[in-house]
Chain A
Amino acid sequence: MASKKDFVKFDKVDKSYDGKVLVVKDLQLDIAEGEFITMLGPSGSGKTTCLMMLAGFETPTNGEIYLDGKAISSIPPHKRGIGMVFQNYALFPHMTVYENLAFPLRVRKIPKDEADKKIDKALSMVSLQGFAARMPGQLSGGQQQRVAVARSLVFDPQLVLMDEPLGALDKNLRESMQYEIKHIHESIGVTVVYVTHDQSEALTMSNRIAVFNDGKVQQLSSPDELYEKPVNSFVAEFIGENNTFGGEVSDISGGKCKVKLANAEILANPISVKGKGERTTVSLRPERALINPSTKMDNLHKGKIEEVIYHGDHTRVRINLLGNPEFILKVPNSSSNLDIKLGNEINIGWNSDDARALDPK
């Protein structure tokens, strides 16, 4: 999309509620126009605070937020023109769906026939035509959520904020709503800032994901990069499943490093280690390790199967490997199942490229 790279800009933003603890630390974040960006992080990581500062319900303690080049700290929320979808929908319970959607148009003094057209369009966008006369209480959770989305879009804002909008829905509905929101974003090209603590939601929907922890953005990148190439052990741990080995770098050369564990040595890809003797945590995705690999892999070790859990499409195997009793493997369930039995010793192999040596935990 040919558009501004810094449509929304957080410039050195700090936020503290009590003057003692910084909830957001020195936040530097640019959001491009038309982008779907997700702020992902555990609760208390500062992601919702960032959203609230952007919406205008909290003021930055330090720094400035720019929207389309304008500093917005001194603009009250109702003049920012930012659409927002709240966690519990926040539909006005005493108004019909139509009145809910008409609210932002009425306060903007948009003539009724034009407003009606916009409302029709917004409702058809979330496939809720014919629901205009209903009260929010007469709708299911998913329908309420759609109304909330329609309401946040009906006045054509340039930016829409979504604060864990799918948190209250059940799993199936959540998944279909994820696609629906993604499609709406794609079709109208609005900039979306989405907050969630659900990583699969973030991976499914976003152009880019900002992983928050401890008031800081740990990594800002596209979903695949975030999953494949985490830059630190928090991100590796937080996104997806992860096997770790704690050890010490004993040698580093040619884009590879040797990591000495308690009673073995493995080859890894040095990401945040620079030299010999550094402590490190090696992170390896479960699906990157294979049982009895047919191709040659530069790490090959023996482990004992401790537990086998059937998961339908795949089987999870817990293996005691190189002193890590929590080593997880995902084995696709095919007819040619290998010799996976409790107590068996098997060979596990993986490429050193996939084993990322990150900062120690």
Chain B
Amino acid sequence: MSSETKQILTTDGIPLEVSLKKAERKNKIKAFLLVAPLLLFLIITYVFPIGDMLFRSVDDKMVTQMLPKTFKAMETWDGQELPEEEVFAAFHEDFIKLVEDKREGKLSTQLNYTKNGFKSIIKKLRRASKKFEEGNYKEQIMAVHKRWADVEYWRAIQRRAPEFTGQKYLKGMDMYVNEEGKIVSVEEDRRIHRVLWLRTLEIAFFVTVFCFLMAYPIAHLLATLPMKYSNLLMICVLLPFWTSLLVRTASWMILLQQQGIVNDFFVGIGLVADDNRPEMMYNKTGSYVAMTQILLPFMVLPLYSVMKTISPSLMRAGKSLGGTPFVAFWKVYFPLTIPGIGAGCLLVFILAIGYYITPALVGGASGTLISNQIAFHMKSTLDWSFASAMGLMLLSGVLVIYWLYNKIVGIDNIKLG
């Protein structure tokens, strides 16, 4: 049949495809061996730790393992009335073991995350449990503190039974599972995370806009100036890259503080009164100014690399065909820079959304971002699972933006250089 392609053989009679694969196999193995050390390094130092860290955000085995017998006994409990004696007995047994291992403090911390008020009653229970008699633990434990007789607290313990939990994610959205098992928002005066998320998005968005507005003319100049000037300008753009981030942020602190250079200048030219110097640091302004300056090169470079490829004759053609300089720019030049704009904006936005040191130093209370909150939980409260939950939420946010970008502009249109 003519439609059937005949198998092509090499001169030795081996099918061509087999022969080709054989010839390429060696190269493939070589290539793999070359990248293998790096691959291994990445798996050990990057994939594994990050996976482990992200796993912590849903891992809730700790309480499950501390109170195994209790949770077993609770399986039949419907959660309406106070549990039966066997649950109390199992809880007592688990608790005595924890006291022996001196781990009851951890239990109290963990249970306190679920419901406030566990810390003191567990301390009391520890003291009282030394004098407990055998049998009838329900009576004895309920006598320690009236909360032990409250069914709410037993429900709180029951909620910690599963090995995995999504409650850290809910907490990141200022929500929690209430006593009835419904997902509800926390009281309004305790909602801190939502504000932070919104502020993070807002600051990242405006930093991106400012960077774009400032970088576009710079990149255009870079791409069109004669070599000797453009090199100098390029060095000016790159110079901040070669300076430590901390140094740059610190210099903004010097510039922006109330007795700083910028304020002195404003007073000097009579823009503001000496006794009414504006606060430009430890608020959003500080974050905006410093982050825009620091992230500017990330916008300039992709824009520059795209503009460099646009032939000046295109603008000339636009003008010679009768377009005013603005029309030639808007209809011809600008559309051609969109890949650079996309790349720059995506880069700056993603970097800004996870920015940490600069807002921590110049942002003050109203200029900090979600990453500062993550750091706070990593370093101060040591609630790593919460920190990693928020980290994953941030990561998914970035992925969503990336996906949206791909839908709207197309990721093939991106050009980083």
Q: How far is the CB of A78 from chain B (nearest CB, A)?
A: 5
- How far is A107 from B317 in the complex, measured between Cα atoms in Å? 13
Residue of A nearest to B314 (CB): A90
A103-B318 contact in complex given A88-B313, A92-B332, C-beta closer than 8 Å: yes
The interface-forming segment of B80-88, B323-331, B395-403 is B323-331
Q: Kindly state whether residue B5 has any CB partner on chain A within 8 Å.
A: no
CB contact list, B272-329 vs A, under 8 A: 311, 313-314, 316-325, 327-328
Q: How far is the CB of B327 from chain A (nearest CB, A)?
A: 6
Enumerate chain B residues within 8 angstroms of A79, measured Cβ to Cβ.
322
Question: How would residues 118 to 129 of chain A score, 1 for a CB under 8 Å from any chain B CB and 0 otherwise?
Answer: 000000000000
Q: Kindly state whether residue A81 has any CB partner on chain B within 8 Å.
A: yes
Enumerate chain B residues within 8 angstroms of A161, measured Cβ to Cβ.
320
Q: Quick check: A107 and B313 within 8 Å, CB to CB?
A: no
Q: Quick check: A78 and B319 within 8 Å, CB to CB?
A: yes
- How far is A195 from B336 in the complex, measured between Cα atoms in Å? 28
- How far is A126 from B355 in the complex, measured between Cα atoms in Å? 56
Going nearest first, the 6 A-B pairs with the smallest beta carbon separation are A104-B321, A90-B317, A84-B320, A90-B313, A77-B319, A86-B313
Q: Quick check: A55 and B320 within 8 Å, CB to CB?
A: yes
Q: Quick check: A78 and B320 within 8 Å, CB to CB?
A: yes
- How far is A190 from B266 in the complex, measured between Cα atoms in Å? 62
A107-B316 contact in complex given A93-B336, A94-B336, C-beta closer than 8 Å: no
Interface centre among A81, A86, A91, A161, by most B CB within 10 Å?
A: A86
Q: Quick check: B317 and A78 within 8 Å, CB to CB?
A: no
Q: Quick check: B332 and A104 within 8 Å, CB to CB?
A: no
- How far is A56 from B332 in the complex, measured between Cα atoms in Å? 19
Residue of B nearest to A93 (CB): B336
Enumerate chain A residues within 8 angstroms of B317, measured Cβ to Cβ.
84, 86, 90-92
Q: Quick check: A77 and B311 within 8 Å, CB to CB?
A: no
Q: Quick check: B320 and A107 within 8 Å, CB to CB?
A: no
Enumerate chain B residues within 8 angstroms of A80, measured Cβ to Cβ.
320
Q: Kindly state whether residue B335 has any CB partner on chain A within 8 Å.
A: yes
Q: From A87, A108, A152, give the contact of B313 (CB < 8 A).
A: A87
- How far is A87 from B313 in the complex, measured between Cα atoms in Å? 9
Determine the main DSSP class of B at the interface with A. helix
Enumerate chain A residues within 8 angstroms of B335, measured Cβ to Cβ.
94
Q: Quick check: B311 and A107 within 8 Å, CB to CB?
A: no
Q: How far is the CB of A84 from chain B (nearest CB, A)?
A: 4
Q: Show the binding face of A for B, using Cβ within 8 Å.
A: 55-57, 76-84, 86-88, 90-94, 103-104, 107-108, 151-152, 155, 161
Q: How far is the CB of B229 from chain A (nearest CB, A)?
A: 15
Q: How far is the CB of B316 from chain A (nearest CB, A)?
A: 6
Q: Show the binding face of B for A, using Cβ within 8 Å.
A: 311, 313-314, 316-325, 327-328, 331-332, 335-336
Q: How far is the CB of B186 from chain A (nearest CB, A)?
A: 50
Enumerate chain A residues within 8 angstroms of B321, measured Cβ to Cβ.
78, 83-84, 103-104, 107, 151-152, 155
15 contacts between A and B (CB under 8 A): A55-B316, A57-B319, A78-B324, A78-B327, A82-B320, A84-B320, A90-B311, A90-B313, A90-B317, A92-B317, A92-B318, A94-B335, A103-B331, A104-B321, A107-B327
Q: How far is the CB of A91 from chain B (nearest CB, A)?
A: 8
Residue of A nearest to B327 (CB): A107
Q: How far is the CB of B384 from chain A (nearest CB, A)?
A: 49
Enumerate chain B residues within 8 angstroms of A81, measured Cβ to Cβ.
322
Enumerate chain A residues within 8 angstroms of B323, measured Cβ to Cβ.
78, 103-104, 107
Q: How far is the CB of B412 from chain A (nearest CB, A)?
A: 14
Q: Quick check: A78 and B313 within 8 Å, CB to CB?
A: no
Q: Quick check: B314 and A57 within 8 Å, CB to CB?
A: no
Q: How far is the CB of B312 from chain A (nearest CB, A)?
A: 9
Q: How far is the CB of A195 from chain B (nearest CB, A)?
A: 14
Residue of B nearest to A94 (CB): B335
- How far is A91 from B332 in the complex, measured between Cα atoms in Å? 10
Enumerate chain B residues within 8 angstroms of A55, measured Cβ to Cβ.
316, 320
Enumerate chain A residues within 8 angstroms of B332, measured Cβ to Cβ.
92
- How far is A104 from B325 in the complex, measured between Cα atoms in Å? 13
- How far is A92 from B320 in the complex, measured between Cα atoms in Å? 13
Enumerate chain A residues within 8 angstroms of B331, measured Cβ to Cβ.
92, 103
Q: Quick check: B316 and A90 within 8 Å, CB to CB?
A: yes
Enumerate chain A residues within 8 angstroms of B316, measured Cβ to Cβ.
55, 57, 77, 84, 86, 90
- How far is A88 from B316 in the complex, measured between Cα atoms in Å? 12
- How far is A57 from B331 in the complex, measured between Cα atoms in Å? 19
Q: Quick check: B314 and A78 within 8 Å, CB to CB?
A: no
- Apart from A78-B324, A90-B313, list 18 A-B contacts with CB within 8 A: A55-B316, A57-B316, A76-B325, A77-B319, A78-B322, A78-B325, A81-B322, A83-B321, A84-B321, A86-B313, A86-B317, A87-B313, A88-B311, A90-B316, A94-B336, A107-B322, A107-B324, A107-B327
- How far is A86 from B324 in the complex, measured between Cα atoms in Å? 18
- How far is A86 from B316 in the complex, measured between Cα atoms in Å? 9
- How far is A104 from B318 in the complex, measured between Cα atoms in Å? 8
Interface centre among B313, B320, B321, B325, by most A CB within 10 Å?
A: B321
- How far is A152 from B316 in the complex, measured between Cα atoms in Å? 12
Interface centre among B311, B322, B328, by most A CB within 10 Å?
A: B322
- How far is A93 from B335 in the complex, measured between Cα atoms in Å? 10
- How far is A55 from B319 in the complex, measured between Cα atoms in Å? 10
Q: Quick check: A92 and B319 within 8 Å, CB to CB?
A: no
Q: How far is the CB of B403 from chain A (nearest CB, A)?
A: 24
Interface centre among B319, B323, B328, by most A CB within 10 Å?
A: B319
- How far is A161 from B322 in the complex, measured between Cα atoms in Å? 14
- How far is A152 from B320 in the complex, measured between Cα atoms in Å? 9
Interface centre among A91, A103, A108, by most B CB within 10 Å?
A: A103
- How far is A56 from B320 in the complex, measured between Cα atoms in Å? 8
